[in-house]
Each structure stands twice: as C-alpha cells, then as structure tokens.
Chain A
C-alpha cells in the first residue's frame, strides 16, 4: 500500500475511533454499578456487570419512562413533519402556479420571515400556547413550528422548476387544481417532498429548548427534555444517565440504519437546492 493509502486508512480509523469510542463508553457505563462508574482509573469492562442502571427506566410506573419519551418524540416529529409537508406543499403550489390578488404580498411576507430567528418567537409563542391550553401537550410540539416559512419557500422553488406540460395536459383533461396538484405535481416533486419530511423530522426530533420549557409531566416529555430531567434527577448516578442515553439512542440508530440512504440523500439534496 502506498503512503497515501496508509494515511487514508489511518485517518479513517482515527475518525471511527473518535466517533464510535464514546458511544461504546456510553454503553459500557450503562452496565456498571455507580461506584464502578466513578472509580479511577476507569475501565472499559464493567466490574461487576449489571443492568441495574436500566431499572429506573424500564419500570412501568417509573418516573423516567424513557420508552414513553421515545414514543412522544416519534409522535411529535412525525406529526410535525406531516403537517409541514402538507401545508407547505399546498401553499407553495398556490404561490408557484396559481394567480391571485395578493400573491406577491403573501410571498413577500412569508419569505420576509425567513430572516427572523426562531428564538424571537420563543417567549410570545410560550404565552400563546399557554393561552390555548396546549402547554404540556403534543399540540405544542407539532403545531407552532409548522408555521415556519422554510418549507413553503423550498417547495415553491422546486415546483417552479417543474415542467408545466404535464400540468397543462391535466388541465385539458378537465382536472381541477387540486387534482393537478395531487396527481401531477406531488409525484414529480417526490424527492423534494421526501427531503422536506426528513429535514423537518430531524429538526423536530432534535428540538431541545422548546420541549424543555413547554412540557412538565414526565409522561409527556420528548427524549431530549426527558433526558435533561433524568440528568437532574440522577445527578452523579452515571449508569442510570448513560442507560437513559442508550435507550434513547438504540432505536434511533436502528431506524437510521434502515432509512440511511434516504436520510443522507435528503440532507445532501437540501444543500444543493439551497
């Protein structure tokens, strides 16, 4: 092997260690006892091996139902992504293909808000959600972030770039606009829609600040908010905290491996379209 090739493989190996190592450590710690986890020098193999770190999490009447949190995260992210894709595609279609008074105005208004950073809406949205009675509910996780302009903006650009012939043909066949949208445009734009779904899902999944402040019952937490509470409740009991992290990670990693190609392609595409 040439020097360059060796160098390449060394780099790859080093990176892999840097990325996989911490995750293995996380797993290993979750299988230790508390004193074992804090002793010096630390060891990679648990002595003794125990699953007691998982007890507080898997107990059905648990204060820290990590599995429940995982489900809440899934529900919120899926609901949010679905809502975004549906409302944004409809709106983008109108802005890209239909004519109506106020079109320029609406588009300008929507795009204008793209420059407004999200934290500006934090406190007022908190109050609005509170008034709607949605604090501590799934609604608070799904709806507020679906008002963002990115999806509309992104899809409008995609729709504008689609060839019009198919739509015109459908119009000739007597389709109304919704049918054109649904039967012609949506299938053509499927990769872009998939991208938007994936990005929205990931963004909602990773959302931390909002769920931390908006949710309070342990059974309603999403994973990030719940893990934060776990950390507060168990402070230095690292086996439990790492066990929580493991339970939060394993399903995600499994899902990711299954959908890897789509996810990676979606992310890649978002950069090219932007």
Chain B
C-alpha cells in the first residue's frame, strides 16, 4: 500500500463533500419506504377463483417443495396447465431458507411471484410484512369452512382476523424403522414400540447386538422437531399464550432434551451425527429408528431392497403429541396488480386444493376432511399411519417474527445434543434470548 498524503483527509473540502453526500443519502432515505398498510387485493368483481375465463396469462408460483415433493407438485402444475389452456403456471422451487430470503425481496422490488406456498407459521410474519394479502374471498368462493378441515389446520391460515392461507396439507413427524435391522436384533418388525419404556427397551436390545438404534440429529431437521414433540408430550410449550415469553426451558423442556441427549450418552446414537446422516444410516441398515417427516415416504419407497415401516412416534411423555406443520397457499402482494393474473392465481389455488389427494401421495396428510376420510387415502398405508396422529398434532406458534425466536431452540438442541452444554443450561440460555426476540417482535409488529 502506498504512502498517503494524510493532509488530504483533513481538508475542509473533503468534509464538505461528505456532508453533501449525506444530503443525497437523506434524500434517498426519504424517497424510500414501502407502500402503505396491507390492503386486500381481491380483484373487484372477481369470483374468488371458481373459474377463469379471461385472456391468456402466466402465473408465477414459487415454493419450497424440494426433494421428493418436487416431482409431485410439478406433475400437478403440468396437469393444471394442460387442463387450463389460457393459464400457464411457471414454478420456481427453492430450499425453504432461501425461499424466505428471496420472496420478500422479490415482492418488495416488484418482481415477486403471483402465488406461493408456505408454512402455517410463516404466515403471520409475511402478512405483517405485507408480502402476502388476505384471501377471504377465495375461502368464501370455495365455500370452505372449519367443518371441511381439521380445526387446528383451518385456524392456521388466519392472522389478525383475516385469512391469508388456504390449507393444503399437514405433515407431521413419524417413526420410520428398518424392518431388517429390527429382525436382526430379535425385535418384531410388525410391532414397533409405541411407549417410551418399550422404545428404550428396544434400543437396549439393539445395542446388545451392536446396533445404534436411534441416531440423534443435532440439527433442526429433524432434531428440533423431535425435541418439540417431546416437549409437548411432557406437557410443556414453546411460548406462553401471548408469545411474550419463551417457556421451552421449563421442566418439561429439560425432560425432553435430557431424554434425547441420553440417546447419545447411553450409546444408542453416535456422538456427532451429520446433517441427514441419521436418515442415510436408516437406509444403509446402520440405524433402526428414524423420527422423520412424512415427506420421506416416497424416497424410502423408491429403494426396492429396503424393508421399512412407519408408525406414530412413541408416547414418551405423559400425553400424546407430535410436531407437524402445514403447507398453505398464499397470494403475494403486487405493486401493480394485474386483474387477470389475480383471478387466474385464485383459480389455480382452487384447482389444486380440490386435488389434495394427489398431493397426499407425495407424502402428506390432506387438509380437507373429505379427502382424509376417503377410502383412497386410507389405502395409502404409510400415510395413513401418520394420519393416526392427526388429533394430537401441534403446529409451531404463530406470531410475526417467530422464526428468529425459534432459531434459538435450534441452538439449544445443537449445544445439548453435541454435549457442549447440559440440557438445562442450553435451554435456559436459549430461552432468555428467545424471550428478548419475541418482545422485540411485539414492539416491531405490534400485537
């Protein structure tokens, strides 16, 4: 680097230039700012999506359906495009983390998609940020009401009294098991353990045969989901009712985390399970049980040589509970709404929603009761196992900005499972941070 003439920095002209620049910056800031408060953007005179008779339009649909889901949603979109010649839906798929980074920026810059899918706990944040718009008209036109859905799923799409999401599915955690591995240990492959005691006994038996039976993931997928399931099973909850305080460090939380950490200390799991390593190990015959999402069904089914089964997760705590989430269709805000696109987007949502059985085959529980109780769905044997849990699924809490607070749970899990902190300490540190975050959120978004 060269010698600088230091006197340059002290010149008055230099300073004036800076303050001139500051003026420009202030001007930029003043011209900035987003548009006003969220307004419903139902096209005037629209039919809420019962039919589309307008000119040719293209509708951009973004979602996070990666992995096995991608093929299914693509097929449904292709079917829709064939059936509806005047609407062409183009689809972009991202990993969810990337999706939630890109969608708000895209919407804010006017390049956002028309339709999207997101989870039920993403809706409040995106609604508060004016990324998605209320779609009560769609629900009304589809004549949807609570009785058509399981109640908790139906309630999920609502924020501040307005409906923002049309539920598509529920996807809970379940217990997958490798039948061949169970047999090797002398366990009955058709009667997997369903209580905490039975489960631990089975693990002990597997250990006796040199098999680590429950590889414990320290990552959100699916370690955090397992923790949250057990937290609810032991009677605790993530946050208090008003979401102003984190409560996952309660006794129930400590019990849940300790139980999971013990899987490692008792030798039922390696100490450092990599991302998805637990799932890969199940497929490789090195792991016996894997609590994973219903979405893995098709991936497992595609391995012809694998003998696997699935059952509800065991009842380790005092009550039945299992983590689940729900995909919801949403409509994004547009800076300059195009009436035709808006109508076509609503029609698309309606069309897909009525075919949720197709979607269920991707490894989901359909949101609509009629489909859920149909013979065709019940015939999907693995999915039906998951559906047994439908009455006691718990969704993540729904409040704007909750994602940042939930990230603290991920940290606590990672620290506890990797043995870096004892479960109680890990949880209480995380809960402290999470409480600060939700309180910040209250201030930022208003309650």
Interface residues of A (CB under 8 A from B): 35, 38-40, 63, 102, 104-105, 107-109, 111-112, 114, 127-128, 130-131, 133, 135-136, 157, 213, 216-218, 228-229, 232-236, 274
Contact = CB atoms under 8 A, between A and B. Distances in A.
A216 B9 contact: no
A136 B109 contact: yes
A232 B94 contact: yes
Contacts of B67: 233-235
Q: Which 7 A-B pairs have the closest CB atoms?
A: A232-B95, A108-B8, A216-B102, A135-B109, A233-B66, A105-B13, A216-B106
Interface string B1-21: 110110011010110010000
B417 to A, nearest CB: 20
Contact of A229 (B5, B94, B106): B94
Given A39-B284, A233-B95, A136 B111 contact: yes
A228 B98 CA distance: 10
Given A35-B303, A232-B94, A233-B94, A109 B14 contact: yes
B105 A108 contact: no
Given A127-B32, A216-B111, A235-B67, A38 B14 contact: no
Contacts of B103: 216
The residue in A39, A107, A229 that gathers the most chain B C-beta atoms within 10 A of its C-beta is: A229
Given A111-B4, A236-B276, A131 B14 contact: no
Contacts, number: 86
Given A104-B8, A127-B32, A216-B111, A233 B13 contact: no
Nearest to A213: B101
Nearest to A218: B92
Given A105-B14, A232-B66, A38 B284 contact: yes
B93 A63 contact: yes
A218 B61 CA distance: 13
Contacts of B379: none
A42 to B, nearest CB: 12
B180 interface: no
A3 to B, nearest CB: 42
Interface residues of B, number: 39
Interface string B57-96: 0000000001100100000000000000000000111110
Contacts of B105: 130, 135, 213, 216
Nearest to B17: A109
B375 interface: no
B110 interface: yes
A135 B111 contact: yes
B140 interface: no
Contacts of B5: 104, 108
Nearest to B109: A135
B119 to A, nearest CB: 16
Contacts of B32: 127, 131
Contacts of A136: 106, 109, 111
Contacts of B273: none
B280 interface: yes
B17 A236 contact: no
A157 B93 CA distance: 48
A235 to B, nearest CB: 6
A229 B98 contact: yes
Contact of B11 (A38, A105, A274): A105
Contacts of B11: 104-105, 108
Nearest to A38: B280
20 contacts: A35-B283, A105-B13, A108-B5, A109-B14, A111-B8, A114-B1, A127-B32, A130-B108, A135-B105, A136-B111, A216-B105, A217-B111, A218-B92, A232-B97, A233-B66, A235-B67, A235-B95, A235-B276, A236-B276, A236-B279
A217 B92 contact: yes
A211 B4 CA distance: 33
A266 B275 CA distance: 41
A128 B25 CA distance: 10
Contacts of A111: 4, 8
B90 to A, nearest CB: 9
A210 to B, nearest CB: 13
B9 A108 contact: yes
B110 A40 contact: no
Interface string B250-291: 000000000000000000000000011001100110000000
A258 to B, nearest CB: 34
A128 to B, nearest CB: 7
Nearest to A228: B98
Contacts of B279: 236
A40 B66 contact: no
